[in-house]
Amino acid sequence: MLEKIREGSQGTIVKVVLGAVILSFALAGVGSYLGNPAELVAAKVNDQKIYTQALENAVRDERTRLQQQLGEQFEMMASNPAFEQQIRASVLERLVTEALLDQAVAEHGLAVGDEQVRQAIVNMAAFQRDGVFDNDLYLSLISRQGFSAASFRETVRADMSRRQFVTGVLDSDFVLPNEIERVESLLNQTRSVRYWKIDTAKIAASYIPTEEQVQAYFDSHQYLYQQAEMVSAEFIRIDAQQLAQDITISDEQVAEYYQSNVDLYKTTEERRASHILLDNSDEGRDAARKIEAELAAGGDFAELAKTYSTDTFSAEKGGDLDWFARGIMGDVFDEAVFALAQEGDVSNLVETPFGLHIIQLTGVRPEATQPLDEVASTIQQELKQNQALEQYYQLQEEVTNLAFELPDSLDEIASETGLKVEQTDSFERTAPPTLLADPKVINALFSEQVMRDRLNSDPIELGEGLLMVVRVKDYQPARTKTLDEVKSEVAQAVALESAADSANGIADDYLAKLKAGETPLIAADEPIVLLSESDFRRDAMSLDRAVRDRAFAMAKPEQGSQFDKVTASNYVAVIALDKVSIAEGQESDERLAQVLEQTQSQVAYLALVNALKEQAEIVYVQQTESDSDLF
């Protein structure tokens, strides 16, 4: 661990040196030829530049997040250039917003203290094991993201400062009690209706359109009857998992592998230690002598670590560094720890590039070897997988060569390798069969090489141990379906359209009678039913959604009833709104106030960002241009 930190600090020096070299090149007139990406600017917010490299890093992180969230669907979406452009645009807008907020923070003199930052990091769940902050995990995770401890702290500080500013603005905005009461009143409102439901499907069932009507509808609605381009495919695939199923591993092979690789099943010695880190200075050495004296007098190591150690993260845990093997903490530190004989022993003062250490041994896990019976099944699976991969790579090489030598057919490739040629029925690009439902395969099938030239695809690697070669067996270009193909669908559409016109005519007649104070009588042969629903709320599921929503859109009747009609996909309804009331005995919902406050906060935040943008000078730059060219 200490070695990694040391390397990180050296990396910073290297970066400074490289920066100086690049600067000297620029001064000498060479920089313009290098086109250093660090000088490319994506946007300028007032006097602050957002560099292309920062944008690329943020886009990469966003793609990773979306890939984890969307899984296989992401690859399909990412194959669309518009989707990639959308990601880049949204990330750039986020960086612009962050820059605006950073400038507002600086203008208002807001600051977040070191202790606040430290506590925020300690409380992050990502850095905890069993609910307790783990310093090793923390350093490991941030290093994977390209952070040093210092740069991560500053990133957290900047984020907390933005939140502090935004919270200060939003906290001045609140929801008034009468606003909550008004929304509660609307949410608790109930309505009672009668409605005459006219079934268009029943009307359509008795309607027989003429040939002329069918032809006319088809001619004017051909856009509804389009057939996308389709292909049927042939393919061969090499699947290491399938190959492994046909492989048998004997007990003798397992035992032989175990004996030859027994070191793989040995656990190395691990030790647990605590340390007190001090500055490598005269003051640090004075403190070390004082600590050593207190330890000699029976002082508690953990308490002394909490009091004196400059490693604040481990100090909180009494200096505990958890378990580690040799090679983790650096040569000097390791030598001191592994030289201690018994738990509780304390080292002499140890000097490393990080300072002065006093180390206490708190635990020992000796080296051990797992017995064969514990690892036999694992070895068997590993040997199977190894043999399967050997077969896979051999077949991969053969198929790759044959696909190039025999580009016009898969049959000869299958004959040479013993693989099977599989086939599919015709399918559209957006609805491939499961085995071919990978963006790489679909893009290959619909490429010029495969679809137009009718050649085999290049071998397509679909992950570890899975490869496929595809070709188009048959291709059908996009076209308008013929009337004969869709005649029944068109006739049904004509009947439904006519039925909808008839239903609306009946509804208009009923509506006129109701508004005139008459009660319409339903004839025995009319496809109409009279229904009613009393005291239902906005979220009621007991009646059709179209009727419910229209009922709540109607004005409250001053006296008597209000009348209206609504057209749904398979019926037309005439509605009589008879009563509007507030449900009694409804308790105030605290969650409503929270939702309203969150909604208002979101609106206020967007207003804040828009206001900052209006006051700022924001320039979006073509990423092929250099900083020096533009500013």
Q: List pLDDT tens digits, range 33-52.
A: 334 444 688 999 998 999 88
The 3-state DSSP class for residue 344 equals coil
Does residue 7 register a pLDDT over 60? no
Distance CA 548, CA 535 (A): 11
Q: Between the CA atoms of 21, 22, 25 and 30, what dihedral angle is there, to the nearest 10 degrees?
A: 150
Q: Alpha helices of 261-321 — where are they, by DSSP H?
A: 282-296, 301-308, 312-315
Q: Any bridge partners for residue 278, and if so which?
A: 356
Tell me how far apart the alpha carbons of residues 587 and 572 are, in angstroms, rounded to a whole number. Answer: 37
Q: What is the mean pLDDT of the chain?
A: 85
Find the mean pLDDT for residues 143-156. Answer: 84
What angle in degrees, to the nearest 10, is found between the helix axes of 52-70 and 81-107? 120
CA distance 576 to 611: 47
Residues with Cβ within 8 Å of 428's Cβ and at least 6 positions away in sequence, in order, are 228, 229, 230
81-109 pLDDT tens trace: 788 889 999 999 999 999 998 888 888 88
**pTM score, whole prediction:** 0.49
Question: pLDDT category, 488, cuts 50, 70, 90?
Answer: very high
Which of 467, 463, 462, 456 is closest to 394 using CA atoms?
Answer: 467
Q: Are 445 and 230 in contact (CB under 8 A)?
A: no
- For the stretch 285-321, pLDDT in tens is 999 999 999 999 999 999 999 999 998 889 999 999 9
